[in-house]
Structure 1
Amino acid sequence: MSQPEEAAAPERFITVSLEKRGVSCTAKLLSDRAPITCDAVWHALPLGGDVYHAKYARNEIYALVEPFAAVEPPLENPTITPIPGDLCYFTFTGTQLATASYGYEQDAHHRGRATVVDLALFYERNNLLINGDAGWVPGIVWGAVVDGLDRMADACQDLWRAGALGETLSFRRE
């Protein structure tokens, strides 16, 4: 007699958007590789905030949000070399982001946040998660863009050249 097969969890998809630019892409949650992180994000959606373009990691945009998980996820499915389409999750203390060179010390440190969550989208190749102040900064890869990365990459390049002021990065269920 054969064992009954365990039902596979349904695939979950989200929309990642640059609101002002009216550009979105679709990402699949990597629940098989980062189940704790995916569940935490999924149950907290929608999420988003002011968008920033990375200085150190290169081809990355991200939003800083309030912590939303009951317990911060462990470093599951880690990377220091994200590829195009990776969605990554980082946790930082307010003091880690308090250096004026980051450009958001008022947001991260002066509001008294003990912790901040960074939800990031990588849109092109040749990224390296190293920071001059802290060294290696591994992230949790919790999603992968499956549609619209080309449009989003163009919008991210525009954000890099034209500026991020007034733009919002959002994550919501499909």
Structure 2
Amino acid sequence: MSGHPSPQRFVEISLDKRGVSCTAVLLDDRAPLTCEAVWNALPLGGDVYHAKYARNEIYTLLPSFASQEPPLENPTVTPIPGDLCYFTFTDTLLGTASHGYQTEAAHRGESRVVDLALFYERNNLLLNGDTGWVPGIVWGAIVDGLDRMADACQDLWRAGARGETLGFRRV
């Protein structure tokens, strides 16, 4: 090791149909295993959802992409605006009627599903009525464009998410 800090890595997060994006820095110092798993899998993306439980969150559900799921590093149950979080769920958990995507979970055929989430406003609480606390791994922080993304997320909440995708790409 040279003793020099590693260069920062950045990702672009976009709502593709709306043409809105923001930039986040990876928190390699706080969640190194999660950052490495996400970075190695980029680009990633899929249908976007607005969270039912957490409040001010958008996310996409992806097949598990890490060779080994990262441990719960840099955890939170109270994400702040600009946090990017990583969650792992089982398909059976997501297949419950209260979550609302029984067909998506059933068609995946995956035993694990990864939820990559973006929090765009304050007062979030990761408490699920079915399962209790849902800690997430904070792996990135938005450093540019949060205001534009928050406006687009509010529009997504009001106008609907159908046909919209959430994408993550290297910068």
TM score, norm. by length of structure 2: 0.98
Residue of structure 1 in register with 2:164 after alignment: 167
Tell whether 2:117 aligns with 1:120: yes
Question: Could you tell me whether the CA contact under 8 Å between 1:78 and 1:138 is conserved in 2?
Answer: yes
Number of positions where the alignment pairs a residue of Structure 1 with one of Structure 2:
171
Match for 2:164: what amino acid? E
**Residue type of the partner of 1:140?**
I
Pick from 147, 150, 156: which aligns with 1:150?
147
1:30 alignment partner in structure 2: 27
Cα offsets for 1:66-106 (capped at 9, x unmatched): 11100000000000000000000000000111112322111
Shift of 1:115: 0.6
1:41 aligns with 2:38: yes
Q: Given that residues 63 and 119 in structure 1 are in contact (C-alpha distance below 8 angstroms), is that contact kept between their aligned partners in structure 2?
A: yes
SS in 2 for 1:153: helix
Q: Per-residue deviation at 1:112?
A: 2.0
Aligned residues of 2:28 and 2:139 also touching (Cα < 8 A): yes
Pair 1:77-2:101 in alignment: no
Deviates more, 1:73-82 or 1:110-119: 110-119
- Name the residue aligned to 2:105: 108
For the pair 1:135 / 2:132, whether they are aligned, the reply is yes
The AA in structure 1 aligned to 2:4 is A
SS of corresponding position for 2:161: coil
1:7 deviation in Å? 1.3
Contact 1:97–1:109 (CA under 8 A) maintained in structure 2: no
Bigger radius of gyration: 1
Structure 1 segments unaligned to the other structure (5+ residues): none
Unaligned runs of 5+ residues in structure 2 are none
Q: Identity of counterpart residues, as a percentage? A: 77
Length-normalised TM-score, structure 1: 0.96
Provide the rounded CA distance (Å) in 2 between the counterparts of 1:36 and 1:103: 30
1:67 aligns with 2:59: no
